[in-house]
Structure formats: C-alpha cells, structure tokens
Amino acid sequence: MRRSMLFLPGNNPNMLINGNCLGSDAIIFDLEDAVAPDQKDAARILVRNTMKYMDFRGCEIIVRINSIDTPYWKQDLDEIMPHRPGLILVPKTCSAADVLEADAYMTQVEEKLGMEKNTVGLMPLIETALGVENAFSIASATKRVKALFLGAEDLTADLQCKRTKESREIEYARTRLVVAARAAGVDVYDTPFTDVNDDEGIQVDAALAKALGFTGKASISPRHVEVINAVFSPTQKEVDYAYEVLEAIALAKEQGKGAISLYGKMIDAPIVNRAKQTIAMAEALGMERGM
Amino acid sequence: MEIKKLASAGTMESSDAYVEIEPATGLEITLESVVSQQFGDSIRQVVRDVLTEQGVENAKIRVVDRGALECVIRARVETAIVRGGN
C-alpha cells in the first residue's frame, strides 16, 4: 500500500534517519535533484549506509537515482540494489528504450548479486512531454515496471508553461498517465503539491488526484502526509458499503440470481472488484466494518 | 587504500558528522563530540572499523560529531576516505 510517498534529500542525515517516523507509507531517498553534483558520492554512500544499518520496518524504501543520461546512475544502482529497495525511481524517463536500458543494467546487478530477476521494481518518473506521449509504452516496456510517477515541475518547464496551484496545465498529463498505467496494469502516483504551507491546497489537490484514479501521491513535506493518507484511504461508509456489496453478491448466488441490486443500483463485476479493493485496503489499514 | 590528499565529508549540521582525512604515517584519530565522555570509545571504534574495511593503514583523521548515528559516521568516514584516495 502506497498512499503517500515522501521525498527525503539523500545527503541530509537528519531527515533520512527519521524517515519512518513521518507517517508516509513509502519514503523516497533522493539522489537526484536534492543533491548537488559535488555531493553525489556522499549522498550515495549515506543512503547505502542508512539502508544497511537502519530499520525502516513498516515503511517502504524507494530510491530516486540519477537519470540515465548522467554518469551517476549505474553506480547508484550498484550501491543501492544490494539493500533491496522496494522500487527504483528513474527520473526523466522518455521512452520504452530508456526503461529497457535501466532494466538491462538492473538485471545485470541482480545477476551479480545472485538475486532473482525483477526483485527490485522500477518506477519511471514521467516529467517530459515526450514521456507523457509515450506513457503506455513506458508502462508496458518490461515486467519490472510497477508504477508510473508524474513529475509536474520538470514537465511544465518542458511544456513551457507556468506551474500553478490550480494545475490546469497538467490535466492532460494526469489523465494520460492514469489511463496508460491502468491499461498496462500498473499503479500510478501523482506529483507533489509544492506549497508546504497551503493546507487547503494540498487537500484539494490530493482529492483531485484520487478522483482521477491515481493510486497515491508524493510529497516533499511531512506536513502533507497526513492529508494524503486520509484522502487515499477508504472512508468508513465506503468500507461498510463494500461489505454490503459482497454480501449482496453472495446472496444472489445462493438464490441463483444472475443480477442483484443494492440501494436501487445494479451490482455488476466492476462494482464487486472495487468493493474487494476497498476491503483489501481497509484490512491493510486495520479498519473494521462499522455496522 | 592510500590517502593521497587532504579531503573532507559531511557537515556541522545536527545529526551529521564532519570528517577530515589527510596523509600520515600510522593512524591518528581525533574526535570532537559533546557525547565523547559517554560514546567516545564506540565512535572511535566505528571510525577504526571503517578505516580497516577500506584498507587504510596510514592517515590522520579528524571527526567532529554533531550527534550522528553510527550509520552516518560510517558514511562520512567512508566518503572522506574515497575522496582522499582519489
């Protein structure tokens, strides 16, 4: 379950070591934008040692490596992959060829380490116009791809438009990524909301992402994590309804009926699937049926 | 690994450590830490462990601890070694 993902700068020990106390389902150790070029070595070594010696139980570790057009990314993978991060976030992924290049090197590293292929998942960061247009081929390029991730700051620079709180400039990219990811059968994560002091703004932005079909949302501030978790968690009403749907379907089967309605609405396969997803998430969150 | 030049790593920020390393004959470790009374021996041992792991037998190393955890001290010492050895 990844409702929230919190970026932490890879060369900041104070933030790294407290990463699992900040409430997010996943933390992203950032070796890319948050690290100055002359500190890439220090960040890589610090993240490696933090992953090796610290226990982040209950919080998935994701590492954003440097992009494949830099001299850093292979060494990032060499040092990070032995510590089995949940996912590697690959920035500036523009095409299936980029994914295949990263995948091929990750496979080499896994072979060298005696790890099973695809032990470490890959999450392409889509933050260019070309990446958005190639979203489905990126998402379906290899089985290693577990999710797509939208990065709106670089994307809007590439689109030559202003990044705004209303986010109309990324509407197309958001919906395109959701459709591409779902068509490929992988998850999809929304870009961070960058005004750390706008509590109302993060609520609206996260709710929009949820409504569009995103699996979860990234954050650059611990302040946003609680809101994101709440938005991407099922409500008690949704959980109760999901149980009622499964009961109604079970009753229909018992009675030999092909179709059944609940509160005047026909229950069909997509509703049943959604109910199962809701209950699975509720169980993961320790939520019980209300009444 | 041979330390060929003066190098440093880390910062003076809270939870971090600042490490300087330079060429020398034999090993000389200097530690500055507000918790050196309680944890000085174990911090020095961590520094020695990393020097051994990296095959450093001759170096003068200065560590300014700002409340860093072991993994951070390890990382900063290793980074300084790598930088000093290049």
Per-residue pLDDT tens over the stretch B35-80: 888 999 999 999 999 999 999 999 999 999 999 999 999 999 999 9
Residue A36 is predicted with a pLDDT of 96
| A291 belongs to a structural domain | no
N- to C-terminal Cα separation, chain A: 25
B50 touches chain A (CB under 8 A): no
Query: In the 8-state DSSP scheme, what is residue A145?
Result: B
| B27 belongs to a structural domain | yes
Q: How many contacts (CB atoms, under 8 Å) link A and B?
A: 48
Q: B61 lies in which domain range?
A: 7-85
Tens of pLDDT, residue by residue, chain A (291 residues): 899 999 999 999 999 998 888 899 999 999 999 999 999 999 999 999 999 999 988 899 999 999 999 999 999 999 999 999 999 999 999 999 999 999 999 999 999 999 999 999 999 999 999 999 999 999 999 999 999 999 999 999 999 999 998 999 999 999 999 999 999 999 999 999 999 999 999 999 999 999 999 999 999 999 999 999 999 999 999 999 999 999 998 888 888 887 788 888 888 888 999 999 999 999 988 888 875
By Cβ distance, the residue of A14, A46, A50 closest to B14 is: A14
Residue A270 is predicted with a pLDDT of 86
Task: Copy the structure tokens of residue A263.
Answer: 């509160």
Q: What is the CATH number of the domain that holds B73?
A: 3.30.230.10
Count of structural domains within chain A: 2
Residues pairing with A150 in the sheet = A126
By Cβ distance, the residue of B9, B16, B74 closest to A49 is: B74
Residues pairing with A267 in the sheet = A260
Q: What is the CATH number of the domain that holds A132?
A: 3.20.20.60
| Chain B nearest CA to A281, separation (Å) | 34
| B69 belongs to a structural domain | yes
Same domain (yes/no): A133, A273? no
Q: Which of B11, B16, B20, B79 to mutate to test the interface with A (most CBs of A within 10 A)?
A: B79
Residue burial A84-108, b: 16+ Cβ < 10 Å; e: rest: ebbbbbbbbbbbbebbeebbebbbe
Which residues of A fall within a CB distance of 8 Å from B78? 45, 49
Residue A291 is predicted with a pLDDT of 59
Same domain (yes/no): A85, A163? yes
| B1 belongs to a structural domain | no
Same domain (yes/no): A269, A188? no
| A289 belongs to a structural domain | no
Residue A259 is predicted with a pLDDT of 76
Task: Copy the structure tokens of residue A228.
Answer: 């994101």
Nearest CA in chain B to A47: B75
Kindly determine whether residue A17 and residue B83, on different chains, have CB atoms separated by under 8 Å: no
d(CA B51, CA B59): 9
Residue A264 is predicted with a pLDDT of 87
Q: A243 lies in which domain range?
A: 236-284
| A12 belongs to a structural domain | yes
Task: Copy the structure tokens of residue A239.
Answer: 């959980």
Which residues of A fall within a CB distance of 8 Å from B82? 41, 45
B27 touches chain A (CB under 8 A): no
Count of structural domains within chain B: 1
A183 touches chain B (CB under 8 A): no
Same domain (yes/no): A74, A149? yes
CB-based contacts of A66: which residues, under 8 Å, 6+ apart? A31, A32, A40, A72, A73, A76, A91
| B62 belongs to a structural domain | yes
B71 touches chain A (CB under 8 A): yes
Which residues of B fall within a CB distance of 8 Å from A13? 13, 15-16, 68-69, 72, 75
